Amino acid sequence: MFNKAQIRKVKIAKAAMRLIREQGYLQFSMNELAKEVEVTAGTLYRTFASKDDLLVYLFSSVIETLAESMYKFSRMELSAKEKIVCFHCYQFYLRQFYPDSASLDLIGTNKAIFNQARPETREKFKRIFDMSAVKFKKQFSDLVDSGKVKADEDLLYQVLRQMTIIGRGGMVISNHVFIPQEAFKIEDLINLCCHTLDQLDWQGDEGRADKRLILLALRSEVEQSVSELW
């Protein structure tokens, strides 16, 4: 069970994300945030000592949400290839169908925010991101270690880089104000992911790529997580 302080922290974080969506991180103020959640400035600063501390909390929450989704996909009755496709398509699906609930890429896509943060805050961002990158890389190395894929290291990490570009590119497209939502569909991203992963020598059924199962898994995870996201 959450105590009152934890509940207040989550309430403040949710309000902050809403203000960031509406105004941008650099524009909104802590005083405005205090009014939004109906707490005193003192209470707000006891919860988050600074705007930088709030940003670190939000960014780490985004990363934790992604890590949790990766874990949930890994537990589903899917092939190894289908699980990787789901993870790379998750944020595109979330943004396209639930734009108001989508988590924000606060640091990796916004150099202005990163550059204005304190040096110690930037170091925290980097540590959080590096930990996420290690988990992501391990997802691919485990394919070989478990015998689900036969591939040399160069090819494996070439595919990893390509999948990273596809996933991040899909996120940019889904957020782009001048690209109509109907211009790109989730099926396009799934097909591109599958085509890229076909470079690997999948063993047995681990190379299955059932688009229907992938879509069902994405919908299930996104619908479940929407209520938990900022």
Whether residues 43 and 104 share a domain: the answer is: no
Q: What pLDDT, in 10s, does the model give residues 4-51?
A: 888 888 889 888 888 887 887 778 899 999 999 999 999 999 999 998
Domain identity same for 189 and 126: yes
CATH number of the domain enclosing 45: 1.10.10.60
Same domain for 208 and 97, yes or no, is yes
Check: pTM over 0.85? Answer yes or no: no
Distances (CA, A) of 179 to 153, 162, 182, 189: 36, 22, 8, 15
Instruction: Please write the tens of the pLDDT for every residue from 80-109.
Output: 999 999 999 998 888 887 766 655 555 555
Mean pLDDT of 110-138: 82
Compute the distance between CA of residue 36 and CA of residue 42 in angstroms, rounded to an integer: 14
Q: DSSP 3-state assignment of 11?
A: helix
Which is nearest to 55 in space by CA: 106, 97, 15?
106
For residues 108 and 158, state if they share a domain. yes
Give the tens place of pLDDT for each residue, 72-82.
999 999 999 99
In whole angstroms, give the CA distance from residue 77 to residue 63.
24
Mutual orientation of helices 80-97 and 211-226 as an angle, nearest 10°? 50
Structural domain includes residue 198: yes
